[in-house]
Amino acid sequence: MLFQAVILALAAIARAQSSLTLGNATYVAAGVFPTDAFASYYNSPTATNEQPQPVVTNVLTGQAFPHALTDPNNIPVNDTADPRTLPPSPLDPSLAGPLVQSAFNQILSLANPNNTAWGNNSNCARCLAGLEVGKSLAVASAGSVPTLAVQLCNYFKFSTTCEQTYGILALGQVITQVLAAADVGGYDGQNICNNFVSGLCPLPPPSPLNMTGYFAKPKPANASAPAPSGQRVKVLHMSDFHLDARYATFAEANCTSSLCCRANNPNSHSLNQVLLPAPRYGYFTCDTPYDLALSALQAIPALTGTEGTGFDFTVYTGDLVSHDPENELSQSLIEYTEASLYGLYKKYLGSGPLYAAIGNHDSYNQASDAPVMLGTQLGQANLSTQFSWNYDTLATLWENNDWISSDVAAMARAHYGGYSVARPDGLRIITINTDLWYKANYFNYINMTASDPSGMLRFLADELQAAEDAGERAWIIGHVLSGWDGSNPLNNPTNLFYQIIDRYSPHVVANIFFGHTHEDQFQIFYANNATNASAATAGAVAWIAPSITPLTNLNSGFRMYEVDSKTFDILDAHTWYTNVSSFHALDNQTAQGPTFVYEYSTRAAYGKNVSWPATAPLNATWWHHVTEEFEQNPSLIQQFTAYQGKMSVLSPNCTNPTCVAAKICYMRSGSGPLGKLCTQGFGSVQ
């Protein structure tokens, strides 16, 4: 451990410079797949009419994943090997059939519009009563709930793949656990009926937050960031790679449902003919094929000027795995993708460590991570550990790549994949699992009145206090953003997160990093819950990174920061992209691959009219001044919007006053409750 610390410190000193140079202005990727990316393949990796199929090894078992897992021509319909976790069922299984039929009939009666016994709030009351029926079945006969879910799906035509989506092999087991543990007639149920059942209940207000005694110490008087060193280091930020190992070159890129560029997903209006062949390097409706993945990883060192040196370190804000429909996912596909991509990052990005957070697609079922207390509530220990396989896999990969120590790996296994690293240069990296505040995670709908049922935010606050005590600066890394337009996070946990950031900003929290949206965005945190959002009260900023995947309607991109080596403030950010519109011209040839080009410098693009010292950081105060400039000159929001989609030809304009005001509001919203106060409908360019 001491040896590793010394090496890291020496490397940081060697890389630190008062001014940094970039690499090539543009990078044209090779047209032939680099065969040395993997040791062996199931097919010919240099073929231009199909994607490489590398042999990838499971880090926990040492066994190679079978070709059948990723064969684009034979995608599995439902995994049958993964364990299915259900609460204990006291009822005789022979009685399950009548119970399911009774529950089904009760719910149909509740849904009958001619049933007028529900008062003015009829839709919400019906929904809550239906959840109560489901809860009774989950408590009495847990294995029957997936059967009921499939029947209801078929009857109400929620999906054309009801068994594959809601059966025991998919979401059925998750729904059962949530029904059994949640307060479905109260706050939990109201949120479920708001989010999952067509908004039948109004969204309940955030729970009152009592912060008395929450922090170990009061905030120091006149807390401020340390003085800068004047030396800069390079830090890479990647996000949302979404590798699609099942990508089928020349399959339908204009499919009518789910993930395109898949051999099993045609355009329903033209089943016998491909309308738009999937380009070899990817398309706007598809995730990242191996050919694009390797082109990007080869471009990064050349463009950033880090060939032969590497970055001081890399931040990865989650989502490695493709957007497969639920029935095509499995633990094995998650493990395969994690092993494949983290191996490639180690190979292509140089010697500096990579610090990663779990994305909502880096789990199975997708977006699912359950608090440990669930097993205690339902009386079954394996419900507390049902996602440990993933934390074990990730911690092992990170440790084996020499990015974290064995002690930190043990921390990641115990904290839902989150961990803290106190680097020898004075920076504390804290990663958190934001599935635990993501609104699509079913398990978050248990005990929703609590702001932190998993303890993840308690862990964050304790680590920030340790950083304050040690005189360290901190970077926080997560996946799902905490605010923006409020459409992704839940209210209560992000409200607590906002208060934690306020307590430890600006003297401890130097920067926050998210991904998830696939877009280039930012959000500012203010004192006192943004009751007075101003330059004087701005405390921290979150950088939301562009994605490698083009999904949906975006170009592919990445970012590098110039960072002060003492304060760990960001002094400039550089973003590159490749034009997905040009990929059709690159098929069936090996002369060249995609061209990656420089998009913009953050300081140059947004700082032209902001009075700010040339050596001062791009901190929350600077960003607030930028939003004020947006208010004075609304045309700048159109420039921001172009960058938001990485110069995609498919990004919509934002020129009307409503859109401009909404986006400025999103930029100043760091929590779910604050984001929801903004005018909705302008959050994304997809």
Amino acid 10: pLDDT: 40
pLDDT at res. 1: 43
Residue 457 in this model has a pLDDT that exceeds 50: yes
- pLDDT at residue 224 in the model: 83
Residues 6+ apart with CB under 8 A from 493: 436, 437, 444, 451, 452, 457
For residue 476, the model assigns a pLDDT of 99
Residue 211 inside a domain? The answer is no
Q: Is 66 part of a structural domain of the chain?
A: no
Q: Are residues 164 and 281 in the same domain?
A: no
Collect all residues with Cβ–Cβ distance below 8 Å to 345 and sequence separation of at least 6: 297, 314, 316, 354, 401
- Tracing tokens 């409706």 back to the chain, one arrives at 285
Residues 222 and 330 in one domain: yes
| Tokens representing residue 119 in the block | 């008062």
Q: Please tell me whether residues 165 and 290 are part of one structural domain.
A: no
Number of domains in the chain: 2
The answer to whether residues 166 and 225 belong to one domain is: no
Q: Encoding tokens for residue 252?
A: 């339908």
pLDDT tens figures, 629-653: 999 999 999 999 999 999 999 999 9
> Do 220 and 368 share a structural domain?
yes
Q: What is the model's pLDDT at position 299?
A: 98
pLDDT given at position 270: 86
Question: Are 477 and 377 within one domain?
Answer: yes
Contacts of 71 (CB under 8 A, 6+ apart): 53, 246
**Residue 22 Cα distances to 69, 102, 234, 566, angstroms:** 40, 68, 10, 21
Is 258 a domain residue? yes
Largest CA distance in the chain: 75
Q: Are residues 185 and 222 in the same domain?
A: no
Same domain, 232 and 168: no
Q: Rounded to whole angstroms, how far apart are CA atoms 636 and 602?
A: 13
> Residues 43, 47, 53, CA angle at the centre, nearest 5°?
35
Question: How far apart, in whole angstroms, are the C-alpha atoms of residue 576 and residue 596?
Answer: 7
412 and 508 inside one domain? yes
The letter for the amino acid at 65 is F
Please tell me whether residues 31 and 144 are part of one structural domain: no
What share of the chain in percent tops pLDDT 70? 96
Tokens at residue 452, please?
Answer: 């932190």
User: Average pLDDT, stretch 353-376?
Assistant: 96
Q: Return d(Cα 385, Cα 373) in angstroms, integer.
A: 10
Instruction: Find where tokens 């054309």 sit.
Output: 160
- Which structural domain range is residue 563 located in? 2-41+216-676
Q: What's the pLDDT score for residue 17? A: 55
**Domain end residue (candidates: 195, 228, 259):** 195
Q: What is the pLDDT of residues 232-269, one digit of tens each?
A: 999 999 999 999 999 999 999 999 988 999 999 999 88
Give residue 211's pLDDT band: very low, low, confident or very high (50, 70, 90).
very high
Confidence of residue 555 (pLDDT cuts 50, 70, 90): very high
Residue 421 included in any domain? yes
Considering the domain boundaries, does residue 153 fall inside one? yes
Range 79-103 average pLDDT: 85
Task: Read off the pLDDT of each residue in 23-32 and give the average, rounded to a whole number.
Answer: 94
Q: How big is the CA angle at 570 (ends 636 and 299), to the nearest 5 degrees?
A: 85
Last residue of a domain, one of 161, 195, 229: 195
For residue 290, the domain's CATH number is 3.60.21.10
Q: Do 592 and 586 contact (CB within 8 A), yes or no? A: yes
pLDDT of residue 84: 86
Tens of pLDDT along 324-334?
Answer: 999 999 999 99
Cα–Cα distance list, 395 to 405, 411, 416, 520, 671 (Å): 10, 9, 10, 28, 29
- Is 51 inside a domain boundary? no
Q: Are residues 411 and 531 in the same domain?
A: yes
- Residue 4: its pLDDT value, please? 46
Whole-number Å distance between alpha carbons of 444 and 104 = 25
Tell whether 30 and 146 lie within a shared domain.
Answer: no
What is the reported pLDDT for 12? 44
Q: How confident is the model at residue 160 (pLDDT cuts 50, 70, 90)?
A: confident
Domain end call among 133, 161, 195: 195
pLDDT over threshold 50, residue 463: yes
Q: Which residues pair with 429 in a beta bridge?
A: 421, 475
